[in-house]
Amino acid sequence: MRVSKRKLKERHSATSLTDSTRINIFDWRSIRYMIPSSGGIVMRYALFLIVTCSVAVMLFVAPALGHQELAAKFDTTKTTNIKGVVTKFDWSNPQVHVFINVADSTGKISNWAVELESTVELLKGGYSKDSLKPGDTVTVAGNPARDQSRQIWATSFTLNSGAGAGKKMFTDVPTGIQQPKYAKAAEPTPRWSDKQPKLKPAMPTETGY
């Protein structure tokens, strides 16, 4: 029995449609039907969702990890002050470092590593690899390393030499994992004579709210 070309075409279309409905996106063997080059919409949406979720997770998790890493390496409850001569300005990621020769009370010289923000954050703050050079004298205050090594996370960095003597540097960048800066410490909550807190709007002369 002869079958017309039209009938053959209709049968072929029906078979193709049936095969496509059998595709299971959870079956790895079906992935070949959904690759972008074949016009597969499912794979395109899947890739879009994966990339979007990954970026979102990085944006929310990265700052938290940065703070955890800072607290794990440096003791943020203590402050160390050093003064010396810059021997190297290491402008690289993930963190920029300044190496300083510091003399102790006996005159013995030790090399300290001062850790700063990443190059990305410092660039945003207007700094560059030429902002500091070997031979500059600086004063640094910051959190010491927990392992007692000669490392410090800078919370204050002052240039003492050259035309910019007295200039505060590096720790004024607005983003990254730099510790938040407060104008002053929180004051005690105002209380009544019976030690209960005053749950009312603050008076002009009262503090702690």
Q: What's residue 23's pLDDT?
A: 47
Q: What's residue 201's pLDDT?
A: 60
Q: Is residue 162 part of a domain?
A: yes
CATH number (domain holding residue 84): 2.40.50.140
Q: What's residue 203's pLDDT?
A: 62
- Of 38, 54, 73, the one marking the end of a domain is 73
* 66 lies in the same domain as 100: no
- Of 29, 52, 73, the one marking the end of a domain is 73
* 5 lies in the same domain as 45: yes
Instruction: State the total domains in the chain.
Output: 2
Closest residue by Cα to residue 162 from 81, 104, 86, 97: 86
* 101 lies in the same domain as 151: yes
Tell me how far apart the alpha carbons of residues 18 and 76 are, in angstroms, rounded to a whole number. Answer: 65
Q: Is residue 113 part of a domain?
A: yes
In our burial notation (b when 16+ CB lie closer than 10 A, e otherwise), range 180-191 reads eeeeeeeeeebe
Q: Is residue 159 part of a domain?
A: yes
Q: Is residue 202 part of a domain?
A: no
Q: What's residue 54's pLDDT?
A: 66
Q: Is residue 199 part of a domain?
A: no
pLDDT by 10s per residue, the chain, length 209: 555 556 555 555 545 544 444 445 445 455 444 444 544 555 566 666 777 766 555 544 444 444 447 778 899 899 999 999 999 999 998 889 999 999 998 999 999 999 999 898 899 899 999 999 999 999 999 999 999 999 999 999 999 998 889 999 998 886 554 444 444 555 677 777 887 777 766 566 655 44
Structural domain that includes position 48: 1-73
